[in-house]
Amino acid sequence: MKGMYPKKGRVILHIDVNAFYASVEEARNPALKGKPMAIAGNPKERRGIVVTCNYAARNKGIYAPMPLWEAKKIFPQLIVLKPDFTLYRKVSAQMFSYLSTISSILEPASIDEGYLDITDCFHQGTPLEIAQRIQNDLLNELQIPVSIGIAPNKFLAKTASNMKKPLGITILRKRDIHQKLWPHPVVYMHGIGNKTAEKLNAVHIHTIEELAHADDHKLKATVGVRGVEMKQRANGIDDRPVNPNRRSEFKSIGHSKTLAKNMTDDREMVPILNDLAESVSKRMHAKKVVSKTIQLTIRYSNFKTITRTQTIDQWTNQSKVLLHWVNKLLQKHWNGEPVRLLGVAALQVERMNDRNQEQLSLFTYERHVKDEPLYKAVQQLQSKYGDEIIRKGLKK
């Protein structure tokens, strides 16, 4: 069996749940299977955007993030469910708990996908046999369908899992990329979106093969230093290890709100930003992280979306500080057009440690001592009775 594994190199699986939210809802209510169904927000609050949908709905021409009204126009009988994130997180935890029994070298990439290094799992069978067992077990035990990519590195494994959905298993070796990867347009590659593809197309790089042979200087001038990394990926090169510590790492913490009506008065937006800043701050305290980079997201009524950031001098997780800077970003970057959505995020967060702890002056120390018992009491009340039980007031 060991002969089925490489003497040098790795064997990595990418496990991706097909239509995760919809699949979990079908597992909870089998009567939904085969019926076009979508997960969406509350249309009354204009969060009527399709988050995801099952394959029966996709076959009708429905996709995310299609507006719900448009999806219902295409197929009026569409079943629409509100998302149940508590349930989705529970099923996700069960999935990763199961995967950890196959190999301890497990890296969650998101709530519904992850990488598994099975290089030393030859005693469990061939890579294909292990992938088939994972697929069957998850389908039988959790009723969730997964597609699995088998490859020598993370990029190729991710690419392979996308090649056959639902319930696909695809092997992608480095020697196969000339035939299976290179003929595709660059936007097919994981990590390249439409805007980056447009930039590459503008300099006559249309296919992945052309990217694989592109000049480094040309790529840097077109898409920055990341262009050289894209070229490496196009050549099947990816040295990133599967990182088991990834599950405890956070890149950003944010929260957004689609407004009940378009807003054109910044005074109406401040209470919204205050609520968002409090939500982000609460999650940062819970995860014991801090940040120096604060981001504001504005989505206009025509769906044009901008994000603007501000890097500050000191680490923070305080809602007042977040609100102060997002308000400044709003005043500086809002163009006056009607606003449909606002978002607040803390980027590049780090776990609290001696290096990033605030060096408290006597004044801030006394203020924090006063605030800390109150903050804990508020948290306890909000955890028991909901976030709305106590809210901060705003000066008019």
Which DSSP category does 8 fall into? S
In 77-126, DSSP assigns E strands to 79-81, 106-110, 113-117
- Cα distance between residue 203 and residue 220, in whole Å: 12
- Phi, psi dihedrals of residue 35, rounded to the nearest 5°: -100, 135
Q: How far apart, in Å, are the Cα atoms of 193 and each of 66, 281, 347?
A: 18, 31, 21
Structure tokens at 76: 């009026």
Q: How far apart, in Å, are the Cα atoms of 223 and each of 77, 170, 187, 308?
A: 44, 30, 14, 20
Structure tokens at 49: 């955007």
112 annotated to bind ligand: yes
- Does 358 qualify as catalytic in the annotation? no
- Cα distance between residue 99 and residue 212, in whole Å: 34
DSSP β-bridge partners for residue 17? 146
Beta strand pairing call for 79-81 and 37-40: parallel
Asked whether the beta carbons of 190 and 234 are under 8 A apart, the reply is: no
Q: Quick check: bond before 166 cis, omega within 30?
A: yes
- Phi, psi dihedrals of residue 154, rounded to the nearest 5°: -65, -40
Q: What are the helix (H) ranges across 105-203?
A: 127-141, 154-161, 177-180, 194-202
Selecting among 113, 129, 268, 388, the annotated active-site residue is 113
Give the N- to C-terminal CA distance of the chain in Å, as an integer: 73
Radius of gyration of the chain (CA): 24
Which DSSP category does 335 fall into? -
The amino acid sitting at 16 is D
- Cα distance between residue 220 and residue 214, in whole Å: 10
Beta strand pairing call for 305-316 and 339-347: unpaired
- Lay out the sheet containing 106-110: strands in order across: 106-110, 113-117, 12-17, 146-151, 169-171
Binding site members:
16, 112
* Active-site residue set: 113
Binding site members for Mg(2+):
16, 112
